[in-house]
Chains A and B, each alone.
Chain A
């Protein structure tokens, strides 16, 4: 009897081409536009954002001035591009500060528990009771308005709820079986935190950082609008909004041009963070 070997062959499947969801595509496109504005915008436009040209104030869009000129005859496009850098710096700085405070505190309270958790969580609760923009306004009021203060103000207003979030996540991860397994195998606390908990937190941190960036852009705009953000003549998106307010009836296009970049940036960040959430959400993937 001869053994028969049956070979089953299958035709190679055509590679499944996963289409990028529309919102991700839009978010990526708008995000890229913002990043390019920040990175090379001032260079591409090639105008001094501070140079005044009184004879040419409130000029409409032209080949010389793509988005026209403002109340002092400054090139609006170059001020938007230059302001993008200030706004990006503030947003990244503020989120950086909040992240730098929230991760260690959240880890400490969530992992250690006990009285450390109790004390820190109560302090966080205290800060959560104060509206974050009010905290930011308070900080600016004490230290004066500048880019540095705005970064500090927003960073300090974000850390409480971010810390809460990290703590909750750590408490959840801490009770997982693989953490117990690591302990049983003799892993030190530091090793558990470093290799197990931090790794588990990474998607959350990535997602929260993205979301916070959108918040920071909006809050910079709000502070700038209130005259508490970046100070003139330096441009930021918020300060452009404030500068255009005086002329909102006579030259409404200035306010429009100042507001559009904020909307675009926040919309892009929101779409991208949604996409990121979908990508990182394990249950959804499974």
Chain B
């Protein structure tokens, strides 16, 4: 019966999802065991398909950046302690005025086809990045790329930048490409060959899986020789695969993580990353054009509840800061921390009343003398969130209950993820949910707060010349202390002004099977963590 099979089909789908990645060879198998062939360390990763493709100029999502970081190496990268070190670059130096950077490439670095990586390839890659969507904002001050000799490349900037070595190490996006290989094939990025990263792509089955094998020309060859990269987006299925041993590395849900950690089945790696979760808003019109309203919301949002409910207690929370405590420019701000929930609600209500949103029947807030709003208009807001992000749905539902306490009606709206950020950039949303990552204070303020920042239109929507000038000054500062003083000032300013409301952080969380050793940090940081890992 058709209808009966519908439900049965759904059940089968659940089961199939849960078992995703279970097929194929035993992950991490030592191929050749039992015969004389050398053992091949192999693991299975369960990750979303890179649906945006593998062109670093077009693909910006983590789903694409993770495999791209495995295939395309950058000039710099971070080591296990977070220190910036050379990747393809052996060393670099800057001119005294901070406008010129010269990088020297490693002698032995080669693409996977054996051809050496030269300064010409680096120039080609950066000229391409300057014209591409993903990196053009970050490289907006880059005015020239000059080949000094086959192993030396010089970058000239319009303004001094202390963060340029960090920018050229952006995993996946700032990868170095083979000029010869890219120019030889118009469809090169369908299945890229001759790549600079630790692994090379050897097969790609759409909607199925990809296979990566080690790049023999990589300067520090990874110990894991082969990676089966199964496309899957089901965190519950990933947990089941990790538990059964048919998967080795995957993102899993927070509830499953707690369960698996308690059972000692897998290692769950989290890192205190600067990956703010925030509420964005349209400050060009009421109600959020009024700072008091924004501050009222900041008081009303119950950060602990959100963290407990949506992240099983993991990840950080903040009452004013955006930067994390490990950032050298961090100074604790507790602008919206109170002694109790009752006090927070009382402060929020008082601010709303001051802003002209008076309490009416059944506690609902209505406008009274609010500029741009008719008297009696209710305080109602539709809050969209990405439909493919379960935690976002959870956040909005917690927000709905939090704001109900102060008389603000929130209607959650599940939104098409493909259109979400485009519409956020166009200013279609009065208030919306967001989350993104930054590497540190310079990256955050340059790309989220500067009018020319790559993420400004998606986050703060700022177009303020005085803020731009401060950020430019911080980036051009010749001493870390000079830059730090400005970043601290900006941090205080945003906590008061609230161009966006940061409420916490999503800590990248990766579950790793017990056989994988020395894997120390989440995947989306860089493939360097995977390079250091081994099958034990």
Q: What residues of chain A have their CB less than 8 Å away from a CB belonging to chain B?
A: 50-52, 54-55, 57, 71-73, 133, 145, 214-215, 218-219, 221-222, 225, 227, 231-233, 245-251, 262, 266
Nearest-neighbor residue (CB-CB) of B308 within chain A: A54
| Residues of B8-41 contacting chain A, CB below 8 A | 9-10, 14, 18
Contact A249 B398 (CB under 8 A): no
Q: A54 and B235 in contact (CB under 8 A), knowing A133-B6, A218-B3, A232-B414?
A: no
Q: Give chain A residues whose Cβ lies under 8 Å from the Cβ of B302.
A: 54
B315: Cβ under 8 A from any A Cβ: no
Q: Give chain A residues whose Cβ lies under 8 Å from the Cβ of B398.
A: 52, 54, 72
B500: Cβ under 8 A from any A Cβ: no
Q: A246 and B7 in contact (CB under 8 A), knowing A52-B397, A71-B394, A233-B400?
A: no
19 A-B residue pairings within 8 Å (CB atoms): A51-B401, A54-B305, A215-B3, A218-B3, A221-B10, A222-B6, A222-B7, A222-B9, A222-B10, A227-B387, A227-B414, A246-B253, A247-B253, A249-B236, A249-B256, A250-B253, A250-B259, A266-B3, A266-B7
CB distance from A136 to the nearest CB of B (A): 11
Q: A218 and B236 in contact (CB under 8 A), knowing A54-B308, A232-B393?
A: no
Q: A246 and B309 in contact (CB under 8 A), knowing A71-B394, A219-B3, A233-B400?
A: no
CB distance from A181 to the nearest CB of B (A): 39
Choice from B259, B387, B394, B412 contacting A249 with Cβ under 8 Å: B259
Contact B309 A71 (CB under 8 A): yes
- Per CB-CB distance, the 5 closest pairs between chain A and chain B, nearest first, are A54-B305, A215-B3, A250-B255, A233-B397, A218-B3
Cβ-Cβ contact count across A and B, 8 Å cutoff: 84
Q: Give chain B residues whose Cβ lies under 8 Å from the Cβ of A52.
A: 305, 309, 397-398, 401
CB distance from A259 to the nearest CB of B (A): 9
Kindly state the separation between the CA atoms of A165 and B235 in the bound complex, as whole angstroms: 44
B239: Cβ under 8 A from any A Cβ: yes
Q: Give chain A residues whose Cβ lies under 8 Å from the Cβ of B259.
A: 249-250
Contact A225 B10 (CB under 8 A): yes
Contact A233 B309 (CB under 8 A): no
Nearest-neighbor residue (CB-CB) of B404 within chain A: A50
CB distance from B442 to the nearest CB of A (A): 36
Q: Give chain A residues whose Cβ lies under 8 Å from the Cβ of B258.
A: 250
B363: Cβ under 8 A from any A Cβ: no
Choice from A57, A73, A248, A266 contacting B236 with Cβ under 8 Å: A248
Contact B18 A248 (CB under 8 A): yes
Tell me whether chain B's interface is mostly helix, strand or loop, or mixed: helix
Q: Give chain B residues whose Cβ lies under 8 Å from the Cβ of A73.
A: 309
Kindly state the separation between the CA atoms of A232 and B7 in the bound complex, as whole angstroms: 21
Kindly state the separation between the CA atoms of A227 and B401 in the bound complex, as whole angstroms: 21
Q: Count B interface residues, CB 8 Å.
A: 35
B240: Cβ under 8 A from any A Cβ: yes
Q: Give chain B residues whose Cβ lies under 8 Å from the Cβ of A232.
A: 393, 397, 412, 414
Contact B7 A262 (CB under 8 A): yes
Q: Give chain A residues whose Cβ lies under 8 Å from the Cβ of B144.
A: none
CB distance from B342 to the nearest CB of A (A): 15
Q: Give chain A residues whose Cβ lies under 8 Å from the Cβ of B114.
A: none
Kindly state the separation between the CA atoms of A266 and B308 in the bound complex, as whole angstroms: 36
Q: A246 and B397 in contact (CB under 8 A), knowing A218-B6, A225-B10, A262-B7?
A: no
Q: Give chain A residues whose Cβ lies under 8 Å from the Cβ of B253.
A: 246-247, 250
Kindly state the separation between the CA atoms of A148 and B165 in the bound complex, as whole angstroms: 54
| Residues of B382-420 contacting chain A, CB below 8 A | 387, 390, 393-394, 397-398, 400-401, 412-414
For B3, B6, B10, B414, which residue has the most chain A Cβ atoms within 10 angstroms? B3
Q: Give chain A residues whose Cβ lies under 8 Å from the Cβ of B412.
A: 231-233
For B243, B304, B414, which residue has the most chain A Cβ atoms within 10 angstroms? B414
Q: Give chain B residues whose Cβ lies under 8 Å from the Cβ of A248.
A: 14, 18, 236
Nearest-neighbor residue (CB-CB) of A215 within chain B: B3
Kindly state the separation between the CA atoms of A281 and B243 in the bound complex, as whole angstroms: 54
Q: Give chain A residues whose Cβ lies under 8 Å from the Cβ of B393.
A: 232
Contact A57 B14 (CB under 8 A): no
Q: Give chain B residues whose Cβ lies under 8 Å from the Cβ of A145.
A: 414
Q: Give chain B residues whose Cβ lies under 8 Å from the Cβ of A225.
A: 10
Q: Give chain B residues whose Cβ lies under 8 Å from the Cβ of A249.
A: 18, 236, 239-240, 243, 256, 259
Q: Give chain B residues whose Cβ lies under 8 Å from the Cβ of A221.
A: 7, 10
Contact A54 B309 (CB under 8 A): yes
Contact A214 B305 (CB under 8 A): no
Q: Give chain A residues whose Cβ lies under 8 Å from the Cβ of B304.
A: 54
Nearest-neighbor residue (CB-CB) of A214 within chain B: B3
Kindly state the separation between the CA atoms of A218 and B6 in the bound complex, as whole angstroms: 7
CB distance from A124 to the nearest CB of B (A): 17
Contact B400 A219 (CB under 8 A): no
Kindly state the separation between the CA atoms of A250 and B308 in the bound complex, as whole angstroms: 16
| Residues of B229-248 contacting chain A, CB below 8 A | 235-236, 239-240, 243
